[in-house]
Amino acid sequence: MAASISSVEKCFKYDVFLSFRGEDTRENFVDNLYNALERQGIDAYKDDVEIMKGKRIYDELMKSIEDSKFYIIVFSKNYASSSWCLDELVKIMECEKMTEHTAYPVFYDVEPTQIRKQSGAVGEAFAKHIKGEAAGKWKEALTEAANLAGWELKNPPDGQDEGKLISKIVETVSLELRSLDSIVDEKLVGMDHRIGEIESSIGTDLDDVRMIGIKGIGGGGKTTLARAIFDKLKNSFDGASFVDKVSLVSKTSGLQLLQKQILSDVLYNQGILVGSVHDGKATMKKRLPSRKVLVVLDDIDHLNQLEALAGACNWFKSGSRIIITTRDEQVLVAHGVKLIHNVNLLNGEEATRLFSRYAFGRDIPVQGYKELSLKVVRYAAGLPLTIKVLGSFLCGKNTNLWKDALERLQTIPEKETLEILELSYIALEDDYKEIFLDVVCLLQQWDKDEAVIMLESCGFHARNGLRVLEQKSLITTRYDAMLETHDLITEMGRNIVRRLHPDQPWRHSRLWIHEEVEEILADDLGTEDIKCIEVFGMQVNPVIVMKGLRNMKRLRYLWVDSILDDSSSFGDVKIDQVSQYFPNALRYLFWDYYPFQSLPKTFQANNLVTLVMRESKITEFWEGGERKALDKLRFLNMSDSKLKTLNLALIPNLEILCLQGCEDLVELHAPIGCLKKLVSLELGGCSRFLSVLFMRRLESLEVPSFLELHLIGESQSGFNVLSSSALHLFKESREEPQEFEGHKNKMEVTCYYKELTSSVEKLYKFLSVQIQSCAKLFSQNTYTLQNLRKIKLERSITEVPEDIGHLNSLEELSLSSTRKVPDPDVSKPTAVTASSESHMRFCNAWNNQSLLSQ
């Protein structure tokens, strides 16, 4: 039942996606339409505006279609000649069938019937695709789109008619968005009058600079209210920024990161650098007075945060508005904020409606649950967060379970919010409880995929567990895939960890408070109760850390991210094989700048799943070349370390291996059959000798067909290209690729060379070739590469082979990061029609514009 709510709440990155044929309409109609939409405050996606340099353009477009609410498809005479446009259209029509999306066709100098039946000029444009496998789905999409209600523009260009049509389109989209906004507002129970009260203080029609405070207890709806106001008003300003969780982020990442966010958001410049808080203040005072901005600072708890992010009204241009949410009114008073609003809790009717939406997916309780619902709501005491959590907790449960929950609620004093929230925790399975505690104590602001690796390393079914926690409203995944929890839920979870022994942190299962960690390690107070420990952001003595771990025999997670580097005062230190210790229970071990040359001899590592020791001084895993099998190790990252040798035969279940920048690595032992589970191997920046050896043995290694392999020369170590289904071979070499002759595997292979000559035919087995930094390419024998489906020519390519048009299997030709490239001759029928999908794509990532396909 709760799922119905989440579908209503779907948010979109863009209001409108524009699909069009560039050569027909980009310079006139589409540009004018785009500008008109932007002037109306409508976020429109147009590929040459939105795609940033270096993005995978095709994938970016498909994702942007999913992220758009409305589609405007500008059909022109040559629209159907572009496989790119037709693929866009197929994706649009797939999304349009969902209730969240709406598509509008614009028939630009073509008749709807020409699109519907692929006749006339449209039919001529589509004829080149008629034999392709994709022709069927393209025809179906054209027919479906032509049957939609839209607009016609005959005999363009006609400035008057075109202007009228653009006005109609903008008006239609604006009305639809306004209707959508009203739907979104409906789920914000009780927000209308609260928004109205604050809007009266904001006074958008006045030219002064105003700071408005919103205060209230945790979980009372301050952030929700501020977000609703921000979304409603942001288009009335030159720039806008919503800075979430100021208190948390300032403590973990620093105030300069938040200063950078504000500057980047309001100035539309992601390249702004902020070296320190002082520099950030100076930059804000210099740059912000040029723009009328709306800034929301959410969850302020200290005056220094306001001083760094909104030091004074004269930082901002007249008409700017700064909205501040906090639990502490004194912070607002101390900063001179005069306009302060208190967030009132929900009344009975509002609370019941909100609860019903999370418990039943509707505005009122279902039959038989009304009295039970009213009793539950009473214990929530009007707190929106508590109501939401209780509703999610009880959703789908029978009346007996509701009554059991009510009995527990009756034992909790009213307004004891944390105890009420804990009901959802108590109902979790044991493994999910452990995952929840790991998230609130250790994994806040972690990328979700990284968190999954950590949790799986510790033996949990992580993805399912995180999904359950989200369903229970205990955690959320942000738009940028970061995990987070509400402050009150974080407080509740950490209280569970600390409350049994509040004055004895060495008996807590998880340690994350720096002062406590430092004391426990220094005084050797570790116990078997400790499961997870985080040593972060302090200059620690590595010897003390190692000795302090000796009694933590059940430790499964260790994160040491200290300020240790080559300039460290500790210098080179050797392992004391007697007193220094890693618990054998460790499953996840992260230690950047690990200063020892080996792991402790007593460490068996037989439970270790993830090992990350970037920029470490380790030269071998165990002193003297001792061999220990790491049967459970799946993820290994030793990038930029001093590692000299690695025996992969001892790590049979390895899935991801990163040895990027290991310049001292001279031996990588990999006997036949030892890499069967490997899916990613990165050797960027390793010795050329090692790279060549590996390439010559590729066929005998029996690697999976989807392996990602990076062998990057030093000069290309910063260049990174990934493909989920490609084997990448990168090297800086003038050697001809003779070691690839007779390659049997049906892999996609990417090759980087300084120079390619006639021996390129040795690559005839390959499905994909990527060529980088070749000033001169081969100009003969290209026809031998008949299996090639993809060619990517990147960096400084100035000449395209003349006979490239004869590659009958070619589906994609990409010209990326290239300053000057002549348009290749792919007009020959064999280059277009013989391809299975005719998916010829020409892109130039340097200027973010497609060369031929639009």
Residues with a known catalytic role = 88
Q: Tell me how long the chain is.
A: 854
Measured distance CA(47)–CA(25) in Å, rounded: 13
Q: Which of 323, 264, 317 is nearest to 293 (CA)?
A: 317
Task: Report the first-to-last Cα separation within the chain, whole angstroms.
Answer: 44
What six digits make up the tokens of 244? 């979430």
What six digits make up the tokens of 69? 């609410």
Contact 432/465 with Cβ under 8 angstroms? Answer: yes
Q: How many other C-beta atoms lie within 10 A of the C-beta of residue 330?
A: 10
What six digits make up the tokens of 324? 């501040």
Give the dihedral sign, CA 521/525/527/533.
negative
Measured distance CA(138)–CA(123) in Å, rounded: 12
Beta-sheet pairing, 532-536 with 557-561: parallel
What six digits make up the tokens of 546? 């190692």
For residue 845, the SS3 value is coil
Q: How many DSSP H helices and E strands does the chain contain?
A: 30, 30
Q: Which residue has the tokens 């306001």?
A: 306
Q: Which of 510, 514, 388 is nearest to 443 (CA)?
A: 510
Q: Which of 816, 802, 801, 810 is nearest to 832 (CA)?
A: 810
What six digits make up the tokens of 117? 């039946």
Contact 761/785 with Cβ under 8 angstroms? Answer: yes
> In degrees rounded to 5, what are phi and psi of residue 700?
-80, -10
For residue 102, the SS3 value is strand
Q: Which of 400, 406, 404 is nearest to 377 (CA)?
A: 406
Residue 449 sits at the vertex; the CA angle it makes with 487 and 10, to the nearest 5 degrees, is: 65
Where helices occur in 569-714 by DSSP H, the ranges are 688-696
Contact 560/511 with Cβ under 8 angstroms? Answer: no
DSSP codes joined into one string, 276-307: SHHHHHHHHHHHGGGS-EEEEEEEE-SHHHHH
What six digits make up the tokens of 490? 């974080």
Contact 687/663 with Cβ under 8 angstroms? Answer: yes
For residue 226, the SS3 value is helix
What six digits make up the tokens of 155? 């005999």
Contact 30/47 with Cβ under 8 angstroms? Answer: no
What six digits make up the tokens of 330? 């004194």
For residue 795, the SS3 value is coil
Beta-sheet pairing, 708-710 with 680-682: parallel
DSSP codes joined into one string, 511-571: E--HHHHHHHHHTT---TT--EEEEESS---HHHHHHHTTT-TT--EEEEE-S--TT-TT-
Strand spans (E) along 735-830: 749-752, 768-772, 790-794, 812-816
Q: How many other C-beta atoms lie within 10 A of the C-beta of residue 753?
A: 23
Residue 32 sits at the vertex; the CA angle it makes with 31 and 34, to the nearest 5 degrees, is: 65
